[in-house]
C-alpha cells in the first residue's frame, strides 16, 4: 500500500506539474509559436563550449572555395586584366584563412565563408549554408533603411512605442559605421545602396557571429526626443522572424501575367525563368494591342534574374526585332563573345555548359540551343589547346550608333519600367536594355553587379555550405552593371500593388511624356 500510495502521490504531482506547464503554454500562446523555448532557468545564459574541430572544417572549405574561384572565375586570370579582382580574391582568402583558425563553432564557420564571398564584391558569389541554427536573438525591434535613416518598422508588443523611431547609434558608434561593420562585411557589398537596404533588417538580429560585437545599448530619436535604450536580447525562432525581416526590406512582388490597367497594359514579370518565359509568350500573342496602347508598364519588382533573353523577347514583341537590334545590337552576330559572353574554358565550366544544354535546351528553344551548343564547341576547342577562354578576352567595340532620343518605332505609347531594390543579375541587363530603348524607369534604384556572368555552385567538402562562382565575362561591357536610378522615384510602399497602379497611371505616365520627341 505504501508503494501504491507513493505512486499515487507521484502521479498527482505529475498531473499538477503538467497542469502548471500547460498554463504557461496557454499564457504564451503555444510553446512553439510565441516562445523560442519553454521559460527555464539558465537557458538564456547558456553558451556552447568552443569546439576546435570547426577550425579544420572551416579551413578545408575555405581552400575549396578559393580553388573554385581561382580555377573557374574569369577575373582570376591575368588575361582579363582585372587586377582589382585578383587583389580582392587574395585579400579575402587571407582573411578567411586567419578566421578559420579562430572558428570554434558553426556560427564562426558560416561567418568566415560569408565574409570570404562578400569580399569579392559581386552578390553572384555566395556561401549558401545547407543548415541554419533554429534560434537567433533579437531585442524585439526590426530596422529598415529608408533613405539615409535607419528606422524601426516592426516590434514585438513590449516595444510598440518604438515604432517609427530612428536608430542613430549603438554603443557610441554612429549607425552608419555600426551597420557597415556588422553588415557590410557579411551580408552586403556596402558600396551598393540597394544591398544596404536588403541587409538593414538584420542589423539587430544576433546570429552569434563571433567576429562582431552584439550591442548593449542603442540611441534613438523618437517623437518624444532622444532616448538611449539598453537592449534586452530575446531568443526567437528564425522561421518566425524571416517573414518580418523580408517585409522590412521594403521591396515588392510583381507576380506574373499580362493585364489591362486603365487605358494601358501591365506586364508583371517577377523573374526571368520559366514563369517569366510564359509571360513573354503572352506578350508576343498580344503584341498588336500592346503596340497600340497609350502606355505599357513592365513591372520587374522582386526580379532577381534568370535569362536576359526573355527580356529581349519582350522588347522584340513591343518594338519589332529589327528595331531592337538597331539599338542594342545582335545577340549572335558579334565579335565580342556573343550574348552569353566569353567563357573561361575550365573543365568545370564546360561540364556545366553541357549540363545546361541537356537540362534546359528543349524548353528554351532553338536560339538558346544554338548559343549554348556553340559555346560548348568553342570552350572545348580552347581547353584542348590550353587556352583559358572560349573567345576573345578583349574587344574593340563597334562604333556605337548615335544615341537616339525617345523610343524606336513600332510602339505607339510610352513604355515604363518599374523596378525595386531587388532587381539583380539578368534583371539589370533587361533594365539597361529597356533604358537604351527609351523606356522611362520609375520606382526604386536597382541592385548592381559586374560584367562577370553565368553563376554556378558546388558543395564544399564538409557539406555544410555551397559556394558559387561566375564563369563568363562580357568583354565589351562596362566593369559594373548598375545600380540604375529611376527617373521618378516612388516613396510609398512599393509592395502595395493597388496604390502603385494608381500612382503609375495618375503620375508616372504623365511625367514620362511622349514616346518620341
Q: Are residues 139 and 125 in the same domain?
A: no
Q: Which of 192, 214, 249 finishes a domain?
A: 249
pTM of this structure: 0.87
pLDDT for residue 135 is more than 80: yes
CA distance to 182, 365, 501, 503, per residue, from 488 (Å): 32, 37, 14, 11
| pLDDT of res. 2 | 38
Q: Which of 234, 249, 264 finishes a domain?
A: 249
- Report how many domains make up the chain: 3
The answer to whether position 341 is within a domain reads: yes
| pLDDT of res. 18 | 46
Task: Collect contacts of 187-193 with beta carbons under 8 A, ≥24 apart.
Answer: 187/114, 187/118, 188/118, 189/118, 189/121, 189/122, 189/123, 189/448, 192/447, 192/448, 192/483, 193/421, 193/445, 193/483
C-alpha 87, offset from chain centre: 24
Q: Are residues 104 and 154 in the same domain?
A: no
The answer to whether position 26 is within a domain reads: no
**Span of 41-45, 148-152, 406-410 with lowest mean pLDDT:** 41-45
pLDDT for residue 470 is more than 80: yes
> Any idea what DSSP says for residue 73?
-
Q: Are residues 72 and 189 in the same domain?
A: no
Structure confidence by residue, pLDDT tens digits, 2-53: 343 343 334 434 444 444 444 444 444 444 444 556 778 877 778 889 999 9
CA distance 311 to 450: 19
| pLDDT of res. 365 | 80
CA distance 512 to 416: 8
Q: Which of 220, 239, 240 is nearest to 229 (CA)?
A: 220
Provide DSSP, 188-246.
Answer: --TT-HHHHHHHGGGTT-B---TTSPPPSEEEEEETTEEEEEE---EEEEHHHHHHHHH
**Cβ neighbours of residue 344 closer than 8 Å, sequence gap 6 or more:** 72, 73, 74, 77, 388, 389, 390, 471, 472, 473
Q: Are residues 280 and 416 in the same domain?
A: yes
Q: Are residues 364 and 503 in the same domain?
A: yes
The CATH number of the domain holding residue 488 is: 3.90.226.10
Q: Which residues pair with 155 in a beta bridge?
A: 141
**Cβ neighbours of residue 141 closer than 8 Å, sequence gap 6 or more:** 152, 154, 155, 156, 159, 162, 204
The answer to whether position 112 is within a domain reads: yes
Structural domain span for residue 82: 53-129
> Any idea what DSSP says for residue 48?
P
CA distance 400 to 329: 9
The answer to whether position 177 is within a domain reads: yes
Structure confidence by residue, pLDDT tens digits, 423-462: 999 999 999 999 999 999 999 999 999 999 999 999 999 9
Q: Are residues 339 and 302 in the same domain?
A: yes
Q: Are residues 394 and 498 in the same domain?
A: yes
CA distance 483 to 416: 17
Q: Which of 359, 382, 378 is nearest to 369 (CA)?
A: 359
Selected residue with higher pLDDT from 477 and 313: 313
Q: Are residues 114 and 245 in the same domain?
A: no
Q: Are residues 243 and 263 in the same domain?
A: no
For 270, what's the count of Cα atoms within 13 Å in the CB-facing half-sphere?
10
CA distance 431 to 416: 11
**Span of 245-249, 304-308, 367-371 with lowest mean pLDDT:** 367-371
Other C-beta atoms lying within 10 Å of the C-beta of residue 456: 18
Q: Which of 216, 249, 282 finishes a domain?
A: 249
CA distance 236 to 474: 44
Q: Are residues 103 and 158 in the same domain?
A: no
| pLDDT of res. 108 | 97
The CATH number of the domain holding residue 218 is: 2.30.42.10
pLDDT for residue 405 is more than 90: no
| pLDDT of res. 515 | 83
The answer to whether position 237 is within a domain reads: yes
The answer to whether position 283 is within a domain reads: yes
The answer to whether position 18 is within a domain reads: no
The answer to whether position 19 is within a domain reads: no
For cell 514620362, the residue is 512
Provide DSSP, 461-511.
Answer: TTSSEEEEEEEEE-TTS-SEE-----SEE--S-TT-HHHHHHHIIIIIHHH
Q: Are residues 161 and 225 in the same domain?
A: yes
CA distance 383 to 379: 6
pLDDT for residue 355 is more than 60: yes
Q: Are residues 119 and 152 in the same domain?
A: no
Amino acid at each position: 500500500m505504501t508503494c501504491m500510495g507513493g505512486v499515487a502521490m507521484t502521479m498527482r504531482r505529475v498531473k499538477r506539474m503538467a497542469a502548471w506547464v500547460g498554463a504557461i503554454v496557454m499564457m504564451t500562446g503555444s510553446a512553439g509559436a510565441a516562445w523560442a523555448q519553454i521559460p527555464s532557468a539558465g537557458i538564456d545564459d547558456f553558451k556552447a563550449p568552443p569546439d576546435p574541430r570547426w577550425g579544420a572544417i572551416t579551413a578545408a572549405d575555405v581552400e575549396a572555395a578559393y580553388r573554385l574561384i581561382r580555377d573557374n572565375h574569369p577575373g582570376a586570370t591575368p588575361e582579363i586584366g582585372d587586377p582589382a579582382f585578383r587583389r580582392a580574391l587574395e585579400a579575402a582568402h587571407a582573411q578567411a584563412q586567419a578566421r578559420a583558425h579562430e572558428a570554434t563553432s558553426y556560427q564562426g564557420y558560416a561567418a568566415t565563408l560569408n565574409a570570404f564571398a562578400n569580399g569579392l564584391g559581386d552578390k553572384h558569389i555566395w556561401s549558401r549554408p545547407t543548415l541554419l541554427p533554429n534560434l537567433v536573438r533579437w531585442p524585439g525591434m526590426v530596422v529598415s533603411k529608408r533613405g539615409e535613416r535607419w528606422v524601426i518598422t516592426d516590434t514585438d508588443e513590449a516595444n510598440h512605442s518604438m515604432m517609427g523611431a530612428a536608430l542613430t547609434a549603438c554603443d557610441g558608434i554612429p549607425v552608419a559605421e555600426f551597420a557597415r561593420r556588422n553588415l557590410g562585411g557579411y551580408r552586403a557589398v556596402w558600396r551598393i545602396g540597394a544591398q544596404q537596404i536588403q541587409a538593414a533588417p538584420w542589423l539587430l538580429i544576433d546570429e552569434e557571429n563571433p567576429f562582431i560585437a552584439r550591442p548593449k545599448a542603442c540611441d534613438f530619436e523618437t517623437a518624444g526626443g532622444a532616448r538611449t535604450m539598453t537592449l534586452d536580447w530575446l531568443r526567437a525562432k528564425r522561421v518566425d522572424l524571416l517573414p518580418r525581416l523580408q517585409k522590412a526590406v521594403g521591396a515588392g512582388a510583381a507576380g506574373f501575367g499580362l493585364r489591362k490597367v486603365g487605358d494601358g497594359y501591365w506586364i508583371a514579370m517577377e523573374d526571368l525563368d520559366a514563369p517569366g518565359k510564359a509571360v513573354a509568350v503572352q506578350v508576343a500573342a498580344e503584341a498588336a494591342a500592346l503596340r497600340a496602347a497609350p502606355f505599357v508598364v513592365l513591372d520587374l519588382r522582386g526580379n532577381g534574374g534568370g535569362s536576359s533573353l526573355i527580356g529581349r523577347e519582350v522588347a522584340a514583341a513591343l518594338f519589332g526585332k529589327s528595331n531592337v537590334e538597331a539599338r542594342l545590337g545582335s545577340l549572335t552576330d558579334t565579335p565580342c563573345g556573343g550574348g552569353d559572353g566569353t567563357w573561361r574554358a575550365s573543365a568545370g565550366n564546360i561540364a556545366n555548359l553541357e549540363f545546361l544544354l541537356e537540362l534546359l535546351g528543349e524548353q528554351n528553344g532553338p536560339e538558346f540551343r544554338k548559343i549554348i551548343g556553340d559555346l560548348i564547341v568553342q570552350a572545348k576547342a580552347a581547353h584542348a589547346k590550353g587556352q583559358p577562354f572560349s573567345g576573345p578576352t578583349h574587344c574593340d567595340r563597334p562604333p556605337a550608333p548615335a544615341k537616339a532620343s525617345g523610343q524606336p518605332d513600332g510602339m505607339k505609347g510610352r513604355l515604363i519600367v518599374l523596378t525595386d531594390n531587388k532587381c539583380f543579375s539578368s534583371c539589370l541587363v533587361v533594365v539597361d536594355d529597356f533604358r537604351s530603348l527609351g523606356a522611362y524607369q520609375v520606382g526604386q534604384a536597382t541592385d548592381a553587379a559586374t560584367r562577370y556572368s553565368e553563376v554556378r555552385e558546388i558543395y564544399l567538402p564538409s557539406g555544410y555550405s555551397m559556394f558559387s562562382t561566375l564563369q563568363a565575362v562580357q568583354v565589351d561591357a562596362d566593369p559594373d552593371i548598375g545600380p540604375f536610378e529611376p527617373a521618378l522615384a516612388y516613396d510609398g510602399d512599393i509592395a502595395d500593388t493597388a496604390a502603385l497602379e494608381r500612382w503609375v497611371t495618375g503620375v508616372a505616365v504623365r511625367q514620362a511624356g511622349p514616346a518620341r520627341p
